[in-house]
Amino acid sequence: MPDFDTEGLVGAWIFDGAGGARRIGWEEIHQGAPKSPAFVWISLQQLEHRHPQNWLHQQSGIDAAIIESLVAAETRPRCALYEHGAFLNLRGINLMPYSLPDEMHSVRFWVEPNRIVSVRKRPLSAMGDFEDAIQRGRAPRTPGEFVADISMRLVDRMDTVITALAEQADELEEQVLRATLSNLSVKVSEVRRVAIILRRYIAPQREALNHFSLEDAEWLSPRDRNRLREAADRVTRFAEELDSVRDRAAVIYDQMVERRAEQMNHSMLILAAVTVVFAPLNLITGLFGMNVGGIPFAEDPNGFWTMVLLALALGMVLMSVFRGVKWL
């Protein structure tokens, strides 16, 4: 069953500005934003293949251009500052059951001094944990603390997945010299693919967080700015780590190609040596197999064994010559 109603409301909270919060419904949402220091958070699910959400499009009072950004199909992380608020689009790695490690879903925020409207396309584990923390009495006191807390939670889940990806790259580097190439190539390609996909969305998130920390608003305290910059710094480190994983995967692939080429060269060398050894023997046996008169040893009872010994001797001489020139 979906966790949102027909209007797409996932949940709404009102914060008293002192660390307390309680759930509210549509009746209190329609009353408008509370007075400072209180503020309200309205979490919405983007509805697909339906009519526009009435409250968001008709009653929220948010500019149409901002609403279009909130419900856009696919966007990269970014931040846009306005006179009365800020738009922030973030992406997080989903650690929900049955989700893939490279699934990064977006959550969009419109932040005002007394109201925060978030729109998601799919559930995010970080947002679920944030609501659980609110229910345990760990509620943010300002919109700036709200955004900083969610940003840190999104970054923490990135750390888990990217660390596991780096460890997988370490294992591949150890296995490249002893594992079967056909089994290893699929793993290397998967690591590189995941690293490329994650970096595509993680790198712009650094600029979005840094840009949001520059918002000149009373509800964004120096502590909140520092936490946002810390989250941006960690995102920068993650982007560098993903670059390293991608480059290491490319190096591992090059090593596999070189190893495969060495194996092929070794096999071709053995085939060439065998061909050179048996070519003279085939010539000799072909000449002695002709059905014409005058063949040497044709009347000798030991002629067959004589030819066998001569062929073996010639083969041993050729093998010695190849070993001397280091062909074998």
3-state secondary structure of 38: coil
According to the model, what pLDDT value does residue 2 have?
A: 64
CATH homologous superfamily of 9-258 equals: Magnesium transport protein CorA, transmembrane region (1.20.58.340)
> CA-CA distances (angstroms) from residue 18 to 39, 143, 216?
11, 12, 22
CA distances from 89 to 61, 82, 159, 247, 296 (A): 19, 14, 19, 28, 92
Q: Tell me which residue of 108, 63, 69, 85 sits closest to 216, measured CA to CA.
A: 85
Q: What are the two backbone dihedrals, phi and then psi, of residue 23, each rounded to the nearest 5 degrees?
A: -75, 150
Residue that is written with structure tokens 């296995």 in the block: 175
Structural tokens at position 302: 């030991």
Interaxial angle between packed helices 181-213 and 222-288, expressed in degrees from 0 to 180 and rounded to the nearest 10 = 160
Give residue 178's pLDDT: 67
- In angstroms, the CA 87 to CA 43 distance is 15
Q: What is the pLDDT of residue 115?
A: 92
Q: Give yes or no for a contact between 130 and 111, defined as CB atoms under 8 angstroms apart.
A: no
For tokens 């591949």, name the residue.
172
Per-residue pLDDT of the chain (328 residues; tens, 9 = 90+): 466 777 788 889 999 888 889 999 888 888 888 888 899 999 998 877 555 577 888 888 888 889 888 888 767 888 888 888 889 999 888 765 545 555 678 899 999 989 999 998 888 888 888 889 898 888 898 888 999 899 888 888 888 888 888 888 888 877 776 655 556 777 888 888 888 888 888 888 888 888 888 877 777 888 888 888 888 888 888 888 888 888 888 888 887 778 778 778 888 877 877 777 777 777 777 777 777 666 776 677 777 787 778 778 877 887 787 777 766 6
Would the CATH topology of 9-258 be identical to that of 263-324?
yes
Q: Which residues contact 229 (CB under 8 A, 6 or more apart)?
A: 209, 210, 213
pLDDT at residue 210, as a whole number: 85
| 82 φψ region: left (φ > 0), alpha (ψ -120 to 50), beta (else) | beta
263-324: CATH number? 1.20.58.340
Within 8 A by CB and 6+ apart from 140, the residues are 15, 146, 149
Q: Where are the domains of the chain?
A: 9-258, 263-324
> Using only C-alpha atoms, what is the Rg of the chain?
35
Cβ atoms < 10 Å from Cβ of 24? 17
Task: Report the run of H or E that residue 107 belongs to, with start and end.
Answer: strand 104-111
Work out whether strand 115-120 and strand 39-45 pair parallel, antiparallel, or are unpaired.
Answer: parallel
Distance CA 207, CA 211 (A): 6
